[in-house]
Amino acid sequence: MRKCADMKYHFAAKLRIYPSSEQKHMIAVNDGASRFVYNRMTANDRDLHAMKKAAGMCPAYRERIAYLEQVRSSKKELVNTIPFLNDKNVDSLAVDNAIKNHNLAWKRFREVPGTGVPGFHKRSYEQSYQTNAHYRKDAASWEDGNVHFVKRSAGEQVPHLITLPMLGTIRFRCSEKVLFMLISHKEDTRIGTITIRRDNCGDYYAVLQISSDTPFTESLRKTGTCVGIDMNLTDLYTDSDGRVIDNPKYGRGMKKKLAKAQRRLSRMKEAAIKDSRPLSGSSNYQKQRLRTAVLQRKVSRSREDYLQVQSKRLVESQDMIVSEDLKVKSLLRNHRLAYGISDVSWGRFMELLGQKAALYGKEYLKVPARYTTQTCSVCGFVCKGEDKIPLGVSEWVCPGCGSHHDRNHNAAVVVLQRGLAIKAMQAG
Ligand SMILES: [Zn+2]
């Protein structure tokens, strides 16, 4: 079978898994090993980065640099310095994936301007590590490898058990849609990376990256329409047909409740530190931590659900969707805007549009965001300098042609015009 990267269609199946205490222990060990390797490599590379900067002035660094380069390039060297990686519970692929992720972070640091030096992974109540499914060359279905369903009895209709690398057989549950996809879509399909995760509420998940040469779903019916969208703070977005989709701001509604829970939590933490009790042994603190985590998860789940529904609706009703290419990270640096933006989650919405468009045979296009709000959609006049439309002004009149504009609607039209111009250029 071909490699995942060479296949055309990709899909991520998220399963809730119910590991035994032995399996939980294994997951904890592999989480620890992955983080340890990642941090060891990061320390090594941060050292190397700093020394190389200073090496010109200090020739004595050369020997140390040569040693660090050697650790960096050889996995054996690394494992030899960390004996517990030879533990029988450690998945060697988890170590490989940690190294791979570390290399990716450094590659991004070198290639993408403005990215900071990669930092360390902190220990937290969450756990996760990545492993891979294995296949022989003649495998034809995703079930021919070391990940497959296990039947408890011959007549069983719906599978409840799945075998995962190293961990063995685990009971699982997932949405009907995903289950149907897994059962029906087997030929020419393989599983790539598997992420095993425990969230900070203590629930376990396995996310399987599945790739195939045949599409996972049928393409949606073509509608012959396209739309530009302008994402803003007050609503989720305004589209070029003038429709406004509001933003329920789940975060703000739950904010009070969450803030109260967090205050209690920090009081308990202070009390524990004062009595020099370890947090891990303080049962009231742990109970409150769990309550807070469950509340946070509730907020993020309802937000995710809303974004899923809205992005599906857009992809269903349009053939092409155009949005600005927003750099959410740099917007988040503006603290006055930060809470509102992270509450709306534009970044996630753009990600979902991309995924769904690809899955259902539609198109999602991002265009440069420069001056979209400042450009007149009728005559193309760009409001600059004195004419610049300030933040908070929702309606304006174009100094070029006198057209009256709604700020967000005009921006959405400009976005669509830019998208269509790009398409026309690609075609001709
Ligand atoms: Zn104009």
Tell me the pLDDT tens digit for each residue of 290-341.
999 999 898 888 888 999 999 999 999 999 999 998 776 666 566 555 555 5
Q: How far is the CA of 383 from the centre of ligand 1 (A)?
A: 10
CB atoms within 10 A of CB 133: 23
Residues 299 and 334 occupy one common structural domain: yes
One-letter amino acid of 423: K
Distance between terminal CA atoms of the chain? 38
Residues 324 and 416 occupy one common structural domain: yes
Dihedral, CA of residue 141, residue 147, residue 151 and residue 155, to nearest 10 = -20
Distance CA 169, CA 231 (A): 45
- pLDDT given for residue 172 in this prediction: 96
DSSP count for the chain of H helices, then E strands: 11, 14
Q: How far is the CA of 421 from the centre of ligand 1 (A)?
A: 18
Residues 201 and 313 occupy one common structural domain: no
Residues 397 and 271 occupy one common structural domain: yes
Q: How far is the CA of 402 from the centre of ligand 1 (A)?
A: 6
- pLDDT given for residue 75 in this prediction: 75
CATH number at residue 150: 2.40.280
Q: Which domain covers residue 85, as residue numbers?
A: 28-111
Of 52, 79, 111, the last residue of a domain is 111
Is residue 221 situated within a structural domain?
A: no
Q: How far is the CA of 354 from the centre of ligand 1 (A)?
A: 32
Q: How far is the CA of 322 from the centre of ligand 1 (A)?
A: 22
Residues 177 and 279 occupy one common structural domain: no
Is residue 118 situated within a structural domain?
A: no
Is residue 312 situated within a structural domain?
A: yes
Residues 80 and 138 occupy one common structural domain: no
- pLDDT given for residue 389 in this prediction: 84
Could you tell me if 115 and 55 are in contact, meaning their C-beta atoms sit under 8 angstroms apart?
A: no
Is residue 187 situated within a structural domain?
A: yes
One-letter amino acid of 165: P
Residues 96 and 236 occupy one common structural domain: no
**Pairing mode, if any, of strands 226-231 and 189-198?**
unpaired
- pLDDT given for residue 390 in this prediction: 83
Backbone angles phi, psi at 425, to 5 degrees: -65, -40
Distance CA 426, CA 121 (A): 42
One-letter amino acid of 54: A
Residues of the chain with pLDDT under 50: none
Instruction: Look up the pTM and report it.
Output: 0.83
Of 212, 241, 261, the last residue of a domain is 212
Residues around the ion ligand 1 (C-beta < 5 A):
376, 378-379, 381, 398, 400-401, 403
Residues 142 and 13 occupy one common structural domain: yes
How far is residue 33 from each of residues 75, 93, 102, 163, measured CA to CA in Å?
Answer: 14, 11, 14, 22
- pLDDT given for residue 154 in this prediction: 79
Instruction: For residue 419, give both structure tokens.
Output: 């998208």
Domain count, the chain: 3
Distance CA 10, CA 268 (A): 45
Residues 165 and 17 occupy one common structural domain: yes
Of 183, 212, 241, the last residue of a domain is 212
Q: How far is the CA of 88 from the centre of ligand 1 (A)?
A: 70
Question: In DSSP terms, which residues pair with 395 in a beta bridge?
Answer: 406
